[in-house]
């Protein structure tokens, strides 16, 4: 199946000011957003970075951390109930260590991807989390392959380029971008989409928490850098947009710049072994 035959995927970006105290708080918020997204016809709902535990408070981040199997069970149950795939940011605990993670479960409730953030931002993240490895590439929709980055990962061109070179036509980015970094959704998101001729879905926090004032501005960008959907501001909002690969099939075919890079001058980005699924 090529991109001309790929059905469109309606995506919901769950920009939320969710600040949880318990796992139950997060489960209720997750289910409500997934139900609303399903009612709006979404096949995939993306939640912000560390949605499950909230962003910025070390104690809550540790207390609401989940082992991967428990996260898969809880997220998968909501996905199966609503018939929507979910990408959920959470704090993953492995032994004595923690990762800033995002898990993708399909509409049947099965985990298909678990990504751990590679580039850690600031003292809160650096003191708490271990760095992860590049995202697997998975078929998220018939004929549509995707990979994941988290927030600060997107500030570097190489991680997005790596995903695109390994076959991702859609890059999913949970985020906790705060003021004064409006340049990220305003410029970096469409630039990364354009550079890689890929769709890019950026879902950010809203409101304030733990001294952070989040900018919201969740955005879905097209392979030509145009904006397909965006939040109105920095308040809670469920943003809907459609990824239609057939509309950009010719554009993507004619705008692959990576093979033209002077590899005798610049080191090429290569796929890490064992990362392609």
Measured over the CA atoms of residue 145, residue 148, residue 154 and residue 157, the dihedral's sign is negative
Active site residues: 49, 117, 151
Give, for 110, the enclosing helix (H) or strand (E): none
Closest CA to 104 of 67, 66, 142, 68: 68
The partner residues of 31 in beta bridges, in order of sequence, read: none
In the beta sheet, which residues pair with residue 115? 102
- Where does the chain show beta strands of DSSP type E? 9-15, 44-46, 85-94, 97-105, 111-116, 138-141, 144-148, 170-174, 199-203, 208-209, 212-213, 219-221, 227-230, 237-243
């Amino acid at each position: 199946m090529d991109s001309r035959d790929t059905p469109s995927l309606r995506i919901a970006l769950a920009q939320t000011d969710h600040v949880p105290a318990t796992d139950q708080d997060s489960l209720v918020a997750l289910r409500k957003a997934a139900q609303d997204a399903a009612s709006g016809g979404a096949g995939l709902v993306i939640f912000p970075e560390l949605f499950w535990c909230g962003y910025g408070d070390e104690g809550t981040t540790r207390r609401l951390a989940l082992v991967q199997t428990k996260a898969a069970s809880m997220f998968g149950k909501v996905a199966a109930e609503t018939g929507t795939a979910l990408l959920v940011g959470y704090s993953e605990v492995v032994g004595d260590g923690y990762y800033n993670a995002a898990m993708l479960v399909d509409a049947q409730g099965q985990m298909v991807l678990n990504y751990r953030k590679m580039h850690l931002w600031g003292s809160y993240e650096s003191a708490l989390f271990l760095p992860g490895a590049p995202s697997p590439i998975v078929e998220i929709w018939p004929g549509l392959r995707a990979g994941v980055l988290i927030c600060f990962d997107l500030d570097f061109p190489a991680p997005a380029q790596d995903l695109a070179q390994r076959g991702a036509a859609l890059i999913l980015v949970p985020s906790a971008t705060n003021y004064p970094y409006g340049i990220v959704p305003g410029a970096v998101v469409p630039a990364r989409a354009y550079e890689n001729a890929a769709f890019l879905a950026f879902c950010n926090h809203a409101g304030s928490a733990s001294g952070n004032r989040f900018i919201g501005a969740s955005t879905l960008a097209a392979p030509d850098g145009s904006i397909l959907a965006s939040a109105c501001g920095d308040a809670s909002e469920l943003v809907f947009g459609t990824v239609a690969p057939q509309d950009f099939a010719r554009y993507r075919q004619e705008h692959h710049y990576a093979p033209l890079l002077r590899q005798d001058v610049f080191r090429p980005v290569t796929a890490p072994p064992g990362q392609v699924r």
